[in-house]
Structure 1
Amino acid sequence: MAAGESSGPPKHTNRLINEKSPYLLQHAHNPVDWYPWGEEAIARAKAENKLIFLSVGYSTCHWCHVMERESFESEEVAEIMNENFINVKVDREERPDIDKLYMTFILLINGSGGWPMSVWLTPDLAPVTGGTYFPPKDRWGMPGFTTVLLKLKIKWATDGDDLASTGRSIIDAIKKNVEEKHKEKPDRALTPEEKFRQAITIYKRNFDPVWGGSLGAPKFPEVSKLNLIFHAHLQDPASKILGVVLNTLDKMAAGGIHDHVFGGFARYSVDKKWHVPHFEKMLYDQGQLLMAYTNGYKCTNKPLYLDVADSIFKYICKDLQHPAGGFYSGEDADSLPAWDSKEKIEGAFYAWTFSEVKDLLKTNLDKFGDVGGVNPLEIYTEHYDVQETGNVEPSSDPHGHLLGKNILIVYGSVKETAVKFETTPEIVQRILDVGNEVLHEVRDKRPRPHLDTKIICAWNGLILSGLSQLACVKDAPNRDKYLEVAAKLVSFIRENLFDIQSRKLLRSCYGDESDKATKLENPIHGFIDDYAFLVKGLIDYYRASLDESALRWAKELQEIQDDLFWDQSCGAYFYSEANSPNVAVRLKEDHDGAEPCGNSVSAHNLLLLGDYFDDDSFREKAKKLFSYFSNVTPFGYVLPEMMSAMLLEEHGRDMLVVVGPDGPEAKSLTDAVRSFYIPGLVIIRLDPTKPNQRMGGKKVDSFRMIQDSPTAYLCRNKVCQLPLTEPYRLAEGLQAKHVFDYAEYEN
């Protein structure tokens, strides 16, 4: 039994008790008569002619918890809701199609959105008004939730036809926007090169030269933009834009958004310094940041980036991995400050008082060994800015949850700390490592934040990409483990997130206390992101493992995706399947946000699958995507992942052909190339013992081994360089173009 809970049976239980989603289960004992999204709730709304109150959130959402505590746990508020509305709860991560549709409405009427999302719908699912968080009573210049409920009750009773008409017109407007948004073309569309130059200009202009990332606060990782900047610099090193992404990676790694004690990243920081995070840790961020720091290392060989990527790996394996191999959605921002506390607060798991740090390090001095006479406490607290009065500025802590507390942050470097204390960087690093181990051991005894045990296909696809890209780095400290975990994840997805009967992906499955994942009786099938992200993950996994079965499955899933989501009349992919029940509008995403959109990722996938299988139909679909979204502006800022794919289409892709039997020599040749950052690299392995083998349009009899040794051919745009048998010569040829001195871009 958790601290603060009553020992008796719950006073209320509603229909959500039968759900699997941790978010829905959190609300199963509210006095509100909640329904899950579905026909039962909608039929009742029609039969009783009542508005539907739709509440959308997710289990690791701080303000969702606040609104639950203030309003949904209130008997008084629940009475108003139950009498006058049909109340529906949706987990936005489980049903992103519903979330995205009504968030489009919220953005249209309010100009901004967020969660919890609160929307009132007519019985035919047309939205009439809404917002995000509402306080229980009028305050802060905001109408209270009760006020809104009572006004809508009266409005629906006295002017319901007008509300319904307004709702239908809004749905019609959203439909029209989807159908016509990309039909009108500008007088002169920008060329790919012009879009590329425009993107570089915008990123330089919006870049924070001191703290990295975009100017201002709050600060988000924006990994899709970082990935494009890597690609842009490789395309045009003279632009010097690499400094934008390297400074951002450095400052994020140094900031409080990065969990220095153990690893992983929080969702975002509330300040411009990356210091005080919104403490939830989401799986999709970990997967994308694995890729970003791996790319950073491949471009610079800077050890910090490999260390950070490895720490993300350790975090997800320890705290987010299901025993069978899949990964959970994320951890909450809130937790109990102590086991006997009654109320959770944000950041309690991660914050430290000076006295806590001092006592822990003093008690464990023997663990530091011989440190040459320096004081570990002084070095640790100086390096991480741990202050006696706390290091959190009041403006970053409006609720006072972090008074007197410290969020670890690095303002200097290991070298600078060593100089200040007249010691060596090696001793400083040992003190930091041991200190973090001590704090981690103690922190693990604190009440943990809530873990959302939903296992989402799309996000596991992102993790598969991150693990696979990291496993391509031959210098990586746990390379075999990365590949082992990735292989286990592929098996998990095949077994638990692919419905063999329907030949469709599932959106999610669910972890519990057993070693097996569970599924919904009435499954929610995958959306475009689930297919696109997993196909990308499988292509990346093939590049790391050369497991051709993964590549064949990627092709199969791409073909299923094309059947389910491609718009045959206008082009591009819809977010949801045709004829999805109770979905008023099929949207098409055209923005890379916290996650890249499925259309952007698919553009990459189609080009690469076209190369691997020498299939022009895939390549033509990619070109249609570029055409469909051509009037999005500024293109490279709104769709950075698609801009990167467009660069591959415009400037060509690289192919490595290794001919020879499988073994250490062939692997060394492959390693010599895949350790570099080469966007869109296609790797073909041809075995001379298989005379009929053909892959990527390449036949084994078109290539020969030199002196009976495995031989590598590096090709670009179907033109191959002279064959090589020595890995170091392959690497030498790539070093000058693909690896940059990070010191040149610092400061």
Structure 2
Amino acid sequence: MATPDDLCQARERKRSLYPVRTRYRDDQGEPLYTNRLILEDSPYLLQHAHNPVDWYSWGDEAFAKAAREDKPVFLSIGYSTCHWCHVMEEESFDDKEVAEMLNRYFVAIKVDREQRPDLDTLYMTGVQLITGHGGWPLSSFLTLDGRPFFGGTYFPKDHFMGLLGQVQEIWHDNRERLLEDADTLDTAIRQHLSPSAVAQLPDGLVEQATATLLDEADRDHGGFGEAPKFPHEPNLFLLLETIRHDPRALDDQPAWQVVRQALDGMLHGGIYDQIGGGFHRYSTDRSWLIPHFEKMLYNQGQLASVYLQAWQLSGQPEYRRIAEETLDFVLRDMRSPRGGFYSATDADSDGVEGKYFVWDYAELTHELDDEDLALCRAVYGVSRTGNFEGANVLHLPYSLDEVAEALGMTRGDLDEALQRIDRHLYELRKQRPHPLCDHKQITEWNGMVIAALAQAAYALERDDYRQAAIAAAEDLWTHHRDAQSGRLWRASLGGVASVHAQLEDYAHFMQALIDLYDLTHQRLWLDRALALLDELEAQHADTRDGGYYVAPMDNPGPQLVRSKPLMDGATVCGNAQMLTVLIALHQRSGDPTLPARIERHIEAFSGRVVQMPLASPVFLLGLQRWQTPPPGPCQYLAGGAIRTGYRVVEASETQLQVIVDIELAPGWHIQAHDLERAEATQLKVVNRDDWQEVAIHYPSPQPMTTGEAGYAGQLAIDLTARERVSAPLGLELQLQPCNDTACLPVERCRFVIHWNHGMADA
């Protein structure tokens, strides 16, 4: 139990780690109240450390006090960059009148949802079942054993005071009623979070679900849903996977039309920071124009990957620009000195939403000359009246190509002028009060950014991204992993990690390590991913029914249910990500135990997938990969001993030149290409009739230890094709893997190269 001296000492240690948020201060400006949250390592909890409310963190101490004093628990869940969380804090939690009632009649617990997403999922499910909707701050009332009996989200002070009075009155006068409500709600939560029975996956499940997703797309503005409008990255990941498998030209694919409209809508809208790069969390309107201005690390990692994949498929230079600008923003503004990444920046500056990001027309008139102001109006749609409370959220009403044509400029000249204007506006903006940056580092979200950096380093050949990805991965491995136990930590603040990792942390960090292995081909990264898989199995696996629990067994406080969710939200859920991770590990390691584990993982969630297939688009993506390996630019054969990939080196209106690279592990070789037998190494164009001419050049075979000629180490096959019709280039590589003791059966892999002219130089 913390003493007053413990709280004072913690306050002194953490002075530089958080801003004091309270109206109650002494003559020297020091806070009058300090509660137990000062002991925590979460910026969100530290924001409440000087409330007059006697807050507890989630754990046994709080529930022991509730039982000892026979008081119900009030649970508040939020996060540091949540606007309405700030509002409820200022109105209620930093108010003596509210604090007096909470302290007298309740045990108050504060939880950072980013530290404990398992608790957030559990109690948010309860609130959604009660009210039909959810959001933050989450406000829930619990029994002595942690079961919710009532809840909601934001409550204004007067409403909240009345609610506190009603709950404490019923608790003392009619408790049986509350306990009955708790029993009913507990049963409903368990049913909602428990997996469905095993079911047979019907043929065409992924295709039917994808067709439904296309029907649900917003064909006017791009994306999915109404206002408020979120990027829904899991939907885009599934559609990009569908496009990769489709041999038709991009413009003939309905999935590509939906992806393109979504990506164009976001990059043109105010949800994208046109000056500083990076994406805001969501748009308050259907057309992506006015954002909620907070920036979350997970959006940057996921959307950078989405735009990068879209560029790889299409060669559209705008998608590459957005991917690079987003990653550059993260490296510039969200990177810690150790190399890891902070979790978020706030929507507010000086208590005003969007103040840091919007532009007053008079300010632009003062700072820009007439020519640049005219260009700013044409490109970014600024006006005297503005589009957000009299100010301007910069956006692109027209594409940059359309603007260049309308102004009689070349695209290169327009880009050069915009770079000059953007730099000037960025420097001006830096002089404003900055939004709060949540310096908490979350393993899950760092994993997403590391994966995107590694993918971009591979595709764009950018060494700075490579070095940044390696540095961040080393930071997580060193500071977010207990070297003795091998367990991961979920989050850290100021170098201190104190919350055990959850399923999503393992899943997304493993994916990042796999992407680093693909980038560097250093066995270290694959071995680390396999080590984390062993630890995940020990701490999170459901050994009876398959799948993985979100939380480990030894999390503190009550655990009403160990949930195994399969629902993608703003991020890809852990069990969906684990399906793709297990498949990738099998392809790269050749571990013979993994296929059975993959099948068991699929079976564990089969009932839920049949009932609600679009609840987890990325699980469907995994099903598609397991049924048919994707024809992507990096593939593995011979249980990971052979890596293959392609590079587009020239793409014009008439010609496509591709290099197919093959890298063999030491001790392995493949047959020569010029053997007159079925085992010969062969590269062929599958859709040969779509191309006028095809020329394939193999390197000269070398003598092998077997006495025959073949290939070992690294080789590159050069293919040049002249276009006949507008179609992707379909390739099939055939080879026979051999080591010093035996030759394996012939293996094949496919590549489908969607391209347009200028792709290689984009």
Q: The TM-score by the shorter chain falls in which range?
A: 0.7 to 0.9
- Deviations 1:589-621, CA, capped at 9 Å, x for gaps: 111110111110000111111122212322222
**Corresponding position of 1:81:** 102
**Corresponding position of 1:694:** none
Are positions 1:721 and 2:734 aligned together? yes
Tell me the amino acid that sits aligned with residue 496 of structure 2: T
Structure (1/2) with the larger strand percentage: 2
Q: 1:686 aligns with which of 664, 667, 673?
A: 664
**Corresponding position of 1:727:** none
- Unpaired runs of 5+ in structure 1? 138-143, 337-343, 366-374, 393-402, 512-516, 677-681, 692-699, 725-732
Count of residue pairs the alignment pairs up: 662
1:675 & 1:93 partners in 2: Cα distance?
45
Alignment of 1:28-67 (within 5 A): 28-67=49-88
Question: Are 2:587 and 2:637, in contact at CA under 8 Å, matched by a contact in 1?
Answer: no
Q: 2:581 aligns with which of 601, 605, 608?
A: 605
**Corresponding position of 1:14:** 35
Q: CA separation of 1:184/1:418 partners in 2, compared to 1, >3 Å: closer, same or farther?
A: closer
Q: 2:223 aligns with which of 170, 195, 213?
A: 213
Q: 1:646 aligns with which of 612, 619, 623?
A: 623
Q: CA separation of 1:3/1:447 partners in 2, compared to 1, >3 Å: closer, same or farther?
A: farther
Question: Are 1:658 and 1:713, in contact at CA under 8 Å, matched by a contact in 2?
Answer: no
Alignment of 1:327-366 (within 5 A): 327-336=341-350, 344-362=351-369
Question: Are 1:658 and 1:686, in contact at CA under 8 Å, matched by a contact in 2?
Answer: no
**Corresponding position of 1:203:** 213
**Offset at 1:97?**
1.5
Are positions 1:183 and 2:197 aligned together? yes
Q: CA separation of 1:701/1:459 partners in 2, compared to 1, >3 Å: closer, same or farther?
A: farther
Q: CA separation of 1:460/1:88 partners in 2, compared to 1, >3 Å: closer, same or farther?
A: same
Question: Are 2:646 and 2:661, in contact at CA under 8 Å, matched by a contact in 1?
Answer: no
1:673 & 1:311 partners in 2: Cα distance?
23
Are positions 1:272 and 2:272 aligned together? no
Tell me the amino acid that sits aligned with residue 624 of structure 1: R
**Corresponding position of 1:560:** 535
Tell me the amino acid that sits aligned with residue 642 of structure 1: F
**Corresponding position of 1:228:** 238
* TM norm structure 1: 0.83
1:331 & 1:454 partners in 2: Cα distance?
11
Q: Aligned to 2:156, what secondary structure does the other structure show?
A: coil
Tell me the amino acid that sits aligned with residue 381 of structure 1: R
Q: CA separation of 1:723/1:377 partners in 2, compared to 1, >3 Å: closer, same or farther?
A: farther
Q: 1:430 aligns with which of 416, 427, 451?
A: 416
Q: CA separation of 1:690/1:73 partners in 2, compared to 1, >3 Å: closer, same or farther?
A: same
**Offset at 1:86?**
0.6
Q: Aligned to 1:533, what secondary structure does the other structure show?
A: helix
1:253 & 1:611 partners in 2: Cα distance?
35
1:56 & 1:617 partners in 2: Cα distance?
40
Q: 1:504 aligns with which of 475, 487, 492?
A: 487
**Corresponding position of 1:536:** 511
Are positions 1:116 and 2:94 aligned together? no
Question: Are 2:661 and 2:717, in contact at CA under 8 Å, matched by a contact in 1?
Answer: no
Alignment of 1:517-666 (within 5 A): 517-519=495-497, 523-582=498-557, 583-631=559-607, 632-633=609-610, 635-653=612-630, 656=635
* TM norm structure 2: 0.82
Tell me the amino acid that sits aligned with residue 404 of structure 2: A
Q: 1:444 aligns with which of 413, 430, 435?
A: 430
Q: 2:464 aligns with which of 470, 473, 481?
A: 481
**Offset at 1:219?**
1.2
Q: Aligned to 2:53, what secondary structure does the other structure show?
A: coil
**Corresponding position of 1:710:** 714
Q: CA separation of 1:617/1:708 partners in 2, compared to 1, >3 Å: closer, same or farther?
A: closer
1:451 & 1:675 partners in 2: Cα distance?
43
- Deviations 1:465-499, CA, capped at 9 Å, x for gaps: 1111111114x5xx100000001011101110001
Question: Are 1:55 and 1:119, in contact at CA under 8 Å, matched by a contact in 2?
Answer: yes
Q: 2:386 aligns with which of 385, 390, 393?
A: 390
- Deviations 1:666-695, CA, capped at 9 Å, x for gaps: 99x85628999xxxxx9984344789xxxx
Q: Aligned to 1:501, what secondary structure does the other structure show?
A: coil
**Corresponding position of 1:730:** none
Question: Are 1:335 and 1:345, in contact at CA under 8 Å, matched by a contact in 2?
Answer: yes
1:163 & 1:445 partners in 2: Cα distance?
53
Q: CA separation of 1:709/1:446 partners in 2, compared to 1, >3 Å: closer, same or farther?
A: same
Q: CA separation of 1:689/1:247 partners in 2, compared to 1, >3 Å: closer, same or farther?
A: same
Q: Aligned to 2:593, what secondary structure does the other structure show?
A: helix
**Offset at 1:712?**
5.3
Q: CA separation of 1:674/1:283 partners in 2, compared to 1, >3 Å: closer, same or farther?
A: farther
Q: Which protein is bigger by CA-based radius of gyration?
A: 2
**Corresponding position of 1:146:** 161
**Corresponding position of 2:255:** 241
**Offset at 1:114?**
0.9
Q: CA separation of 1:683/1:500 partners in 2, compared to 1, >3 Å: closer, same or farther?
A: farther
Tell me the amino acid that sits aligned with residue 428 of structure 1: L
Question: Are 1:122 and 1:167, in contact at CA under 8 Å, matched by a contact in 2?
Answer: yes
- Unpaired runs of 5+ in structure 2? 1-18, 652-659, 670-703, 719-731, 738-747
**Offset at 1:423?**
2.4
1:577 & 1:499 partners in 2: Cα distance?
15
- Deviations 1:343-389, CA, capped at 9 Å, x for gaps: x1111110101111222222xx8xxxxxxxxx221011221000111
Q: 1:461 aligns with which of 447, 451, 454?
A: 447
**Corresponding position of 1:171:** 186
- Deviations 1:512-550, CA, capped at 9 Å, x for gaps: xxxxx223xxx3211100111111111111111212100
Question: Are 2:20 and 2:31, in contact at CA under 8 Å, matched by a contact in 1?
Answer: no
Q: CA separation of 1:408/1:633 partners in 2, compared to 1, >3 Å: closer, same or farther?
A: farther
Tell me the amino acid that sits aligned with residue 50 of structure 1: K
Tell me the amino acid that sits aligned with residue 389 of structure 1: T
Q: CA separation of 1:95/1:701 partners in 2, compared to 1, >3 Å: closer, same or farther?
A: farther
Give percent identity, aligned residues only: 35
Q: CA separation of 1:305/1:166 partners in 2, compared to 1, >3 Å: closer, same or farther?
A: same
**Corresponding position of 1:156:** 171
1:705 & 1:297 partners in 2: Cα distance?
39
Q: CA separation of 1:8/1:415 partners in 2, compared to 1, >3 Å: closer, same or farther?
A: same
Q: CA separation of 1:176/1:656 partners in 2, compared to 1, >3 Å: closer, same or farther?
A: closer
Tell me the amino acid that sits aligned with residue 734 of structure 2: Q
Q: Aligned to 1:721, what secondary structure does the other structure show?
A: strand
1:3 & 1:436 partners in 2: Cα distance?
34
1:422 & 1:559 partners in 2: Cα distance?
61
Q: Aligned to 2:340, what secondary structure does the other structure show?
A: coil
Question: Are 2:510 and 2:581, in contact at CA under 8 Å, matched by a contact in 1?
Answer: yes
Q: CA separation of 1:672/1:161 partners in 2, compared to 1, >3 Å: closer, same or farther?
A: same
Q: Aligned to 2:56, what secondary structure does the other structure show?
A: strand
- Deviations 1:234-257, CA, capped at 9 Å, x for gaps: 223464311111111111011100
Tell me the amino acid that sits aligned with residue 407 of structure 1: V
Question: Are 1:507 and 1:527, in contact at CA under 8 Å, matched by a contact in 2?
Answer: yes
Q: CA separation of 1:14/1:683 partners in 2, compared to 1, >3 Å: closer, same or farther?
A: farther
Question: Are 2:21 and 2:47, in contact at CA under 8 Å, matched by a contact in 1?
Answer: no
Moved more, 626-635 or 75-84: 626-635
Tell me the amino acid that sits aligned with residue 129 of structure 1: F
1:473 & 1:560 partners in 2: Cα distance?
31
